[in-house]
């Protein structure tokens, strides 16, 4: 193999690819813009829907409201998003109205249970609602919030009248203290999103180029042109392989940058607008996480590029290639799910599972956990997979009918007929030489 | 320098077909081509022309026999063989997303034309084929006539001593086909060894210095047009071709 030839061929592949809209969109623009835009659209959508929901009134009927608690009724009537219906209905007919969607909740005041009758005017409230209907559930929450608040204030007042201090009323309290730092909270979010999207984007970055430089070349009739240049077959395939891997790495790393920027610049402010704990999230990465992510992206890209090119080499057209290679993209999703266990770090067993290991290694690095022996195992497993794919590719390329694109079938059929069945190279199919 | 640029001896190629078994696409052919000569391979579709030329271009490996291009064996030195020849056929298209100039530069470099002379060589060819006006445009945007010129320039950009033209005029209009023939004659006059395959008799008559009639993977007759005329008693190449084919098929019928 001549590395100068590989360099010339590699530059040619890359130059052509950067002029192809599909490749630029899939390998560069989507990783860079799709997920930031998607996150922005998602959070804006949540805010918009939330606003609409807040403006919807809850239709409520109140039965047997105790006269001693007129203030509670006043509060219910004064609340802008609660519409208290004054019509006289029975409990059964109100429930019937809830079932058909003409009413959202029924609030029935009942006498207190026997052991709670110590306080004058004590009561219990039964809220009837339709759990299958969002609007009805919302009415329940609103009424429950108002009644609970009122009841707490009423209990405090009654207890004070009986000279029971606040401390005596409380007896014991449950306190919470989140010991996570802001950075750790940010790392939690990044640890879920970045490994997932990095793996997906590396696979997506390899997808179209792997098809374009194999099946696409056949479809455009440039494959035979390439077979007549003086470079060795190995140089040609090596250049194509590096080209596909380059676009996979580019897509993965561009996506990490885009995700990192968008988490801080888009998600943080949107969470603040949602009234969440935005100020408790700090999106920053340990410095060592950057080379770990870069190495993981390289290893994944080399693996995906090899696997996808092997399958795409059997396709005669771009469309065939898409059908043959797309399952690899979806298969990549399965191991990532293993890496989504947020309370799990890399273990020897997980480090032996390709893709899941890289995903977990990246998440650990984002969390500042660097298990060097297991990271070495992860990379060793991925590079063994890459070596396996390359050996398989080398073996397949010995068959000239495949090199010329005359084999009519998939990788699986080829493996069954030619590699397992051992039909020799000399017995290549008639299509290899059309004339 | 050797007086023969291309030498083919007992060359064979078999393919395997699920239903028909072994197919001998090329069945022991011999010929040679010299510098400054256009050697024609004349045969019907499926006669074995393209398979022969693909073996010479090292795209296919021979099942048996030997072939060499410019002194390099096709099996032992495939890269050197490819460096010594330019291959043009209907199935060797251009990269649509490169410009004409980029295409020529790429093929010159990858075929090891001296790096410091690539620019000069490319400009010379752009001028020779009159493609300066659109050399900077992407190939995908060009007409088929323009693409054809760039394609020929691509074939010869590394100045190979041997050129293979596999049915180069298929699909071309009359004017484009005539232009192609003119270029091939020019290249012959420059001393190139040209192997030219066609099934169009008039083209072979007009261009080829020697003609091999190939049928079912075998060469039935080889010689100049005059030698074929004398051997068969026929004047036109079409009649000569039919005469030779019928001779073989008649013999096969009687056996």
Helix (H, G, I), strand (E, B) or coil at A117: coil
Confidence band, pLDDT 50/70/90 cuts, at residue A433: very low
Q: What pLDDT shows up at residue A434?
A: 37
Straight-line distance from the first to the last Cα atom of chain B, in angstroms, rounded to the nearest whole number: 46
- All residues of chain B having their beta carbon less than 8 Å from the beta carbon of residue A434 are 50
Residue B183: C-alpha distances to residues B102, B119, B121, B158 (Å): 22, 22, 17, 16
Q: What pLDDT shows up at residue A426?
A: 44
User: What is the rounded distance in angstroms from the CA atom of residue B144 to the CA atom of residue B153?
Assistant: 14
Q: In what order do the strands lie in the sheet with B6-17?
A: B21-33, B6-17, B64-69, B72-73
Average pLDDT over residues A347-352: 88
Helix (H, G, I), strand (E, B) or coil at A409: coil
Mutate to test the interface with A, among B53, B57, B93 (most CBs of A within 10 A): B93
Residue A350: C-alpha distances to residues A289, A295, A357, B198 (Å): 19, 18, 6, 62
Average pLDDT over residues A405-422: 70
* Residue of chain B whose Cα is closest to the Cα of A11: B106
Q: What pLDDT shows up at residue A301?
A: 92
Residue contact A229–B111, C-beta within 8 A: yes
Residue contact A231–B79, C-beta within 8 A: yes
Residue contact A16–B98, C-beta within 8 A: yes
Q: What pLDDT shows up at residue B7?
A: 93
Tokens of A193: 């999103």
Q: What pLDDT shows up at residue A118?
A: 63
Q: Which residues of chain B have pLDDT under 50?
A: 1
Mutate to test the interface with B, among A15, A20, A228 (most CBs of B within 10 A): A228
**Distance from CA of residue B75 to its chain's centroid?**
19
Q: What pLDDT shows up at residue A275?
A: 53
In contact, A64 and A109? CB cutoff 8 Å: yes
In contact, B221 and B235? CB cutoff 8 Å: no
**Distance from CA of residue A20 to its chain's centroid?**
28
Q: Choose among A222, A426, A430: nearest Cβ to B63.
A: A426
> DSSP assignment of A181-248, as one string?
-HHHHHHHHHHHHHHHHHHHHHHHHHHHHHHIIIIIHHHTT-HHHHHTSSS-HHHHHHHHHHHHHHHH
Q: What are the DSSP E strand ranges found in chain B? A: 6-17, 21-33, 38-42, 64-69, 72-73, 85-89, 162-166, 193-198, 210-215, 218-223
DSSP run (H or E) holding A31:
none
* Residue of chain B whose Cα is closest to the Cα of A19: B97
A340/chain B closest Cα distance in angstroms = 41
Residue contact B60–A221, C-beta within 8 A: no
Straight-line distance from the first to the last Cα atom of chain A, in angstroms, rounded to the nearest whole number: 31
**In angstroms, what is the C-alpha Rg of chain A?**
32
Residue contact B97–A16, C-beta within 8 A: yes
DSSP letter assigned to residue A369: -
DSSP letter assigned to residue A427: G
ipTM: 0.87
* A249-299: pLDDT as tens digits: 998 888 888 888 877 777 766 666 655 544 567 777 888 888 999 999 999
A418/chain B closest Cα distance in angstroms = 12
User: What is the rounded distance in angstroms from the CA atom of residue B193 to the CA atom of residue B34?
Assistant: 6
Residue contact A228–B106, C-beta within 8 A: no
Task: Enumerate domains of chain A plus CATH numbers.
Answer: 3-45+182-411 (no CATH), 56-166 (3.40.190)
Residue contact A8–B17, C-beta within 8 A: no
- All residues of chain B having their beta carbon less than 8 Å from the beta carbon of residue A400 are 59-61
Confidence band, pLDDT 50/70/90 cuts, at residue A116: low
- All residues of chain A having their beta carbon less than 8 Å from the beta carbon of residue B170 are none
How many of the other CB atoms lie within 10 Å of CB of B255? 5
Q: What pLDDT shows up at residue B69?
A: 93
Mutate to test the interface with A, among B84, B97, B105, B217 (most CBs of A within 10 A): B97
The proportion of chain A whose per-residue pLDDT surpasses 90, expressed as a percent, equals: 19
């Amino acid at each position: 193999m001549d590395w100068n030839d590989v360099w010339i061929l590699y530059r040619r592949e890359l130059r052509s690819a950067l002029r192809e809209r599909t490749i630029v969109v899939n390998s560069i623009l989507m990783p860079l813009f799709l997920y930031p835009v998607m996150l922005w659209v998602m959070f804006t959508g949540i805010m918009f829907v939330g606003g609409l929901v807040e403006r919807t009134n809850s239709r409520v009927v109140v039965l047997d409201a105790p006269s001693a608690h007129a203030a509670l009724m006043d509060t219910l009537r004064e609340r802008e998003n609660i519409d208290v219906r004054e019509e006289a209905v029975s409990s059964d007919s109100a429930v019937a109205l809830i079932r058909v969607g003409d009413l959202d909740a029924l609030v029935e005041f009942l006498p207190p249970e026997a052991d709670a009758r110590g306080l004058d005017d004590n009561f219990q409230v039964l809220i009837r609602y339709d759990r299958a209907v969002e609007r009805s559930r919302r009415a329940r929450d609103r009424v429950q919030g108002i009644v609970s608040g009122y009841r707490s204030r009423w209990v405090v007042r009654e207890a004070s009248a009986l000279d029971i201090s606040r401390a005596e009323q409380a007896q014991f309290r449950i306190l919470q203290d989140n010991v996570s730092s802001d950075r750790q909270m940010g790392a939690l979010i990044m640890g879920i999103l970045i490994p997932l999207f990095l793996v997906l984007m590396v696979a997506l970055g390899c997808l179209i180029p792997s098809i374009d430089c194999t099946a696409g070349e056949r479809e455009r009739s440039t494959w035979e042109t390439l077979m007549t240049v003086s470079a060795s077959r190995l140089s040609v395939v090596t250049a194509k392989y590096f080209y596909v891997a380059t676009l996979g790495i580019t897509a993965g790393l561009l996506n990490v940058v885009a995700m990192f920027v968008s988490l801080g610049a888009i998600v943080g402010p949107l969470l603040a607008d949602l009234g969440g704990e935005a100020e408790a999230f700090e999106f920053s990465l340990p410095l060592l996480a950057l080379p770990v992510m870069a190495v993981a992206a390289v290893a994944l890209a080399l693996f995906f590029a090899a696997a996808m090119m092997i399958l795409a080499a059997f396709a005669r057209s771009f469309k065939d290639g898409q059908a043959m290679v797309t399952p690899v993209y979806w298969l990549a999703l399965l191991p990532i799910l293993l890496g989504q266990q947020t309370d799990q770090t890399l273990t020897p067993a997980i480090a032996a599972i390709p893709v899941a290991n890289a995903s977990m290694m990246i998440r650990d690095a984002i969390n500042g956990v660097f298990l060097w022996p297991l990271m070495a195992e992860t990379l060793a497993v991925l590079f063994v997979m890459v070596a396996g794919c390359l050996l398989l590719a080398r073996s397949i390329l010995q068959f000239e009918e495949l090199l010329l694109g005359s084999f009519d079938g998939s990788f699986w059929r080829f493996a069954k007929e030619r590699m397992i069945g051992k039909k020799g190279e000399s017995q290549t199919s008639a299509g290899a030489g059309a004339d | 320098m050797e007086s023969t640029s291309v030498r083919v001896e007992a060359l064979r190629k078999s393919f395997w077909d699920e239903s028909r078994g072994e197919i001998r696409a090329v069945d022991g052919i011999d010929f040679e081509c010299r510098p400054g000569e256009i050697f024609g391979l004349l045969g019907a579709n499926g006669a074995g022309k393209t398979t022969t030329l693909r073996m010479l271009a090292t795209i296919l490996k021979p099942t048996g026999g030997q072939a060499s291009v410019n002194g390099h064996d096709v099996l032992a030195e495939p890269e050197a063989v490819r460096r010594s020849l330019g291959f043009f056929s209907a199935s060797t298209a251009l990269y649509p997303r490169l410009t004409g100039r980029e295409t020529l530069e790429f093929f010159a470099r990858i075929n090891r034309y001296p790096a410091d002379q690539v620019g000069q060589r490319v400009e010379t060819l752009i001028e020779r084929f009159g493609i300066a006006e659109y050399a900077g445009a992407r190939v995908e945007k060009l007409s088929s006539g323009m693409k054809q010129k760039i394609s020929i320039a691509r074939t010869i950009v590394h100045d190979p001593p041997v050129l293979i033209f596999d049915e180069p005029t298929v699909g071309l209009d009359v004017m484009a086909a005539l232009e192609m023939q003119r270029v091939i004659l020019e290249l012959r006059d420059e001393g190139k060894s040209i192997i030219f395959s066609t099934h169009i008799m008039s083209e072979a008559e007009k261009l080829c210095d020697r003609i091999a009639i190939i049928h079912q993977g075998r060469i039935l007759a080889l010689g100049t047009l005059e030698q074929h005329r004398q051997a068969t008693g026929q004047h036109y190449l079409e009649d000569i071709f039919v005469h030779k084919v019928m001779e073989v098929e008649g013999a096969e019928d009687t056996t």
